[in-house]
A and B are shown apart, each in its own frame.
Chain A
Amino acid sequence: MTAITRRLRRLDTNLLQLVLLTVLIFAGMAALNPDRFLRPYVFESITFIAPELGLLAIAMMVAMLTGGIDLSVIGIANLACILAGLFFHAVGAPRGPDLVNLSWPLVAAGIGIALGTGLVAGAINGLLITRLRVTPILATIGTGQVFTGICLVLTGGPAVVGFPRLWGQIGNGTAFGIAVPLIVFLVVAGLVWFILSRTAFGINLALIGTNARAAAFAGLRTGRTVFLSYVLTGGLASIAGILLSGRTNAAKSDYGVSYLLQAVLIAVLAGTNPAGGRGSVPGIILALVALMLLSSGLQMMRFSNFLVDLIWGGFLLLSIALAAWRNRVR
C-alpha cells in the first residue's frame, strides 16, 4: 500500500491533472449522451482518427522543447503524401485496379518518398533556424507557405484521389483487432519517448530549451542538436500525412489545416512549455485522449464544426490560464 502511494506521489502532478481532466470529460460526455457515447463504435473511431493528430502534437512538442515551434507541419504532411500519391499515379495508373493492387515494394518506395520528404523538409527548417538563425516562428511560417505552395503547383488545386490498397491499410486497416494507425502511433510515440527521455540527445534538447546559453557553455553542440530535432519533427509530420492520406484515400494541399491549432493545443495542454525545456510523450497521449473524447462527445451533441473550433480555442486559452496558475503555485 505504501509502495503504491509512494509511486503515485512520484508521478508528475501535471500528469495527474491530465488524468483527472480525461476522467471528468469522459464522465461528463457519458452523462450528457448516455445512450450514444458509451458505444464501442465511438472508441473504435477515435483509434482511427486520433493517431494522425497525436503525431502532429508530438512533432509540435519536440519543436517546443527547444523553445521553438513548427508551423509548417501541416504543409510537410500534405506535401509528403501528395508526392507519394503522384508517384503511385505515375508508376501504377491514375485509377483502376492497377493502382489499387500496386505491389508492396512500390508502396514501400512511396512510404520512403513520403518519409524522405518529411526529413528533407525538416532539415530545411533546421538549417534556416540553426545556420541562418531565423526565428522558428517566421522560418516555419515561410517554409509552410512554400511547402503548401508546392502542393498547389503540383496538383493545381484539386485533391490527388486514389491510393493503393496497401497504403490504405496503414490508415484504415486493422491488425489483431486493433486499428493499424493506432499501432503505428504507439510504436512511433514509444520511440520518441525513448529518444527524449533515455538518450543523450533527448536530455540535451531539454537542457538547450531550459537555457541555451548554459548548454552552449557546457560544451553541447546546440546547433546540431536543434537541427536534428527539426528533422525529427519533419519526419513525424510526414508519418501523420501518411496516416491521413491512408484513411481518406486522398491528399490535398489544404487538408488538415485545423490540425495546426489542435496540435499546439494538445502540446500546451500536455504541460509542454512553449518557451522550452519541458514536454513529455505520456502527457501528449493523455491530452490527446481527453480532447478526442471531448470533440467526439460534442459532435454527438450535434455541435457544428465551427462551434467545436470555438471550444478548442477556448480550451487553449483555458489551458494557458491553468499553466500560469500552476506555475504561480510552484
Chain B
Amino acid sequence: MRSLALALRRHPEWMVAAVLVVAVVTIGLINPVFWQPANIFSLLRASVITGILALAVLLVMLSGGIDVSFPAFAIAAMYLTVRAMVAWGFDGVLLPFAMATAIGIGLGLVNAAFVHYLRMIPLIVTLGTGTAVRGFILGVVGTSQINIDQMPPLLINFARQDLFTVTQADGSPAGLSAMVLLYAVIALLVHLMLRHTMMGRSIYALGGGEEAARRVGFNTRRTTFFIYGLAGALAGFAGLLHGAMIWTANPRDMVGLELDVIAAVVLGGASIFGGRGSVIGTMLGVLTLVVITNSLIILGVDTTWQRVVVGLIVIAATAATAWRDRKRIA
C-alpha cells in the first residue's frame, strides 16, 4: 500500500490513465458501438472545450486556489464578441478570438487583484465575480440567443474544419475536428510554460507555500496576476470557440459547467492544496470524464444519472488524492 501511494505521488498520471483504460475497455465490451470512429472522434471533439477550461482551472489549482468564475467569463467573452461582430457586420477569425481572449484576460485580472491585494479566498472571490459577470451579461447586454442564421459565417467555417475524414464500415464518413489539434497545441504550450520557464516554476512554488515562494525570491504578485490573467485568457478563448463549434451564442450556456471541469482536473491528479498537478494528467482526466459521461447513453443508463456519476467521480478522485497526500497534511 505504501509503495502504491509513493508511486502515485511520483506519477499521478498513471492512476487516471489506468482509470481511462479500464473505462474504455469496459464500455467497449458492453457496447462495441463505442469503437466506431464517429464515436471516438465525437468524444475527442467533446473534450476540446472542457479541456481548455480545465487547463485554466489547473493553473489556479496549482497555485492553491480554486476558480468557479470561468464559465461566466467564457460566456461573457463569447457573447460580447459575437454581439459586437453582428452589430458591426464584421466577420473573421483572428480578431474575434483576440477580442474574446482580451476580455478574458481583463476579467481574470480582476480576480487576481482581489486574491492578491485583498487576501480573500479564491473560491469566494470567483463566486462573486462569476455571478456579477453573468448578471451583467444577462441583465445589461441581453438575454437573446444568437442563432446559426446570424452567426458570422467565417467563424463557423473555421470551427467546422476537419483534420481528416475516414469512411466507416457502413459507408458514412466520420471527420476528426481540427479543433482537437488546436486544443493539443494550447495544452503543449501550457505544459512547456509550466515545466520549462521561470514563471512555471513560480506557479508551483506559490502553490507549495506563498511565504516560502516569496522568501526564495519569486515575485508572488506578478505570478498571481499571470495565473489569473492566463486562466481568464483560456476561458475567453474557449468561450468563443464553444460558440463557433455549436453555431450559437447563448448567454445562458455553460451553467454548472464549472463542476464538470473541476471534476476533470482533480481526477487528473491535481491537488487543491496547490503545487501538484500536470497538463498530461489534466488532459487524461478530461478525456476520462468525457468518455464516462458521454457513454452513459450507449451503456443504456438514463441520462439523469449523469450528475450522480460526476459527483461520485469528484468524491473518489479527491479521496484518492487526499489519501496520496495524507502525510503532507498530518
**Which residues on A are within 8 Å of B, measured CB to CB?**
69, 128, 132-135, 137-139, 141-150, 152-153, 156-157, 261, 264-265, 268, 274-275, 303-314, 316-317, 320-321, 323-324
Chain A residues within an 8 Å CB radius of B87: none
In contact, A146 and B307 (Cβ under 8 angstroms): yes
Contacting pair A132 B131 (CB below 8 A): no
Known: A132-B322, A142-B315. A157 touches B304 (CB 8 A): yes
Least Cβ–Cβ distance between A72 and chain B, in angstroms: 9
**A69-B123, A137-B123, A153-B308 given as contacts; is B135 within 8 A of A312 (CB)?**
yes
In angstroms, Cα B65 to Cα A41, docked, is 44
Chain B, interface size: which category? 35 or more
Q: Other than A142-B315, A145-B308, A313-B135, give 10 A-B pairs with Cβ distance below 8 A.
A: A132-B319, A133-B323, A141-B259, A143-B315, A146-B308, A303-B139, A313-B128, A314-B128, A320-B125, A324-B117
* B114 cross-chain contacts in A, Cβ below 8 A: 317, 320-321
A324 touches B119 (CB 8 A): yes
Q: Are A133 and B307 in contact (CB under 8 A)?
A: no
Nearest-CB residue, chain A, relative to B262: A141
B134 contacts chain A at the CB level, 8 A cutoff: yes
B134, B259, B315: the one within 8 Å of A139 (CB): B315
User: Which residues of chain B from 90 to 141 have a CB within 8 Å of any chain A CB?
Assistant: 114, 117-121, 123-125, 127-140
Question: B294 within 8 Å of A by Cβ?
Answer: no
Report Cα–Cα, A25/B304, bound state, in Å.
Answer: 43
Main secondary structure of the interface of A (DSSP, over half): helix
| Beta-carbon nearest neighbor of A254 in chain B | B256
**CB-CB nearest 5 A-B residue pairs:** A313-B132, A145-B311, A310-B135, A306-B139, A149-B307
Contact B118 A324 (CB under 8 A): yes
Residue pair A320, B307 in contact (C-beta under 8 Å): no
Chain B residues with CB below 8 A from A138, complex form: 262, 266, 272, 314, 318
Contacts of A261 in B (CB 8 A): 127-128, 131
Across the interface, do A149 and B311 meet the contact criterion of CB distance under 8 Å? yes
**B120, B262, B312 — most chain A CB neighbours (10 Å):** B120
Residue contact A320 to B318, C-beta cutoff 8 Å: no
Is B186 interfacial (CB-CB < 8 Å)?
no
Residues of B within 8 A of A305 (CB): 139
A306 to B144, CA, bound (A): 13
A303 vs B139: C-alpha distance in the bound complex, in angstroms?
Answer: 9
A261 to chain B, nearest CB (A): 5
User: Are A143 and B311 in contact, with the CB atoms below 8 A?
Assistant: yes
A–B pairs, 20, beta carbons within 8 Å: A132-B322, A138-B262, A142-B312, A145-B307, A149-B304, A149-B309, A153-B304, A153-B305, A261-B127, A265-B128, A306-B137, A310-B131, A310-B139, A310-B140, A312-B135, A316-B128, A317-B132, A321-B114, A323-B120, A324-B119
